[in-house]
Amino acid sequence: MRISRLPLDEQPAAVRAVLETNPSLVRVLGLARGLDLPGWWLAAGAVVQTIWNHVTGRPPGYGLKDYDLIYYDPSDLSWEAEDRAIRAGREMFGDLPVEIRNEARVHLWYESRFGVPCPPYEGSEDAIDSFPSTTGAVGVRLTPSGAWRIYAPYGVADAFNLVLRPNPRLATREVYEAKAARWSAAWPELTVLPWP
């Protein structure tokens, strides 16, 4: 049965079952707890791409460039503080390609990189809400007790139905279309919806 047809209360267990097919993703989740980063989520590409791989019958790690580990710490917006988290992550994750970013700092550099201003985020969830595609706006994490948490403000039906939907909340058309081109080259089954 397709997950989009499951009752809402059964969808988190189905998402977890699919994500658990990717041993590297599960390893990143387990190790990330040890970093004790505030408001952390494993988010975006590796999460939704693991779902696409499951749906299309590909190996779980196919096409995954890295694992995006985001967190939110407004208490110190310096690059040095974020770099300490990045270096601790390198030691923790070893050969796993994990990209760590403090979403509380994104507004400081976003405009110079993407050409549009980014208001300061109010939390990691606010950052996920503004990802370039609503399809990729999914985060997962483990609680200290090991329970799974899933944050998917736009749901997970598009991910399981291989629909890439734009999110014009913050990203530009160029950012969305670049991601869409890269992702549809690896997953040609995707239906890429146009920028509004």
Radius of gyration of the chain (CA): 16
Q: How far is CA 160 from CA 22, 55, 135, 152, in A?
A: 16, 7, 9, 13
Identify the pLDDT of residue 12. 85
Identify the pLDDT of residue 7. 75
The side-by-side arrangement of strands in the sheet containing 148-151 is 98-102, 67-71, 41-43, 139-142, 148-151
Q: How far is CA 57 from CA 10, 15, 71, in A?
A: 22, 16, 31
Q: What is the C-alpha to C-alpha distance for residues 142 and 144, in angstroms, rounded to an integer?
A: 7
Identify the pLDDT of residue 2. 64
Identify the pLDDT of residue 9. 78
Q: What is the C-alpha to C-alpha distance for residues 57 and 194, in angstroms, rounded to an integer?
A: 26
pLDDT tens, residue order, the chain (196 aa): 466 666 777 888 889 999 999 999 999 999 999 999 999 999 989 999 999 999 999 999 999 999 999 999 999 999 999 999 999 999 999 999 999 999 999 999 999 999 999 999 999 999 999 999 999 999 999 999 999 999 999 999 899 999 999 999 999 999 999 999 999 999 999 999 999 9
Tokens found for residue 99: 């990209």
Domain span at residue 165 reads 3-192
Helix, coil or strand: residue 119: coil
For the chain, how many structural domains are there in total? 1
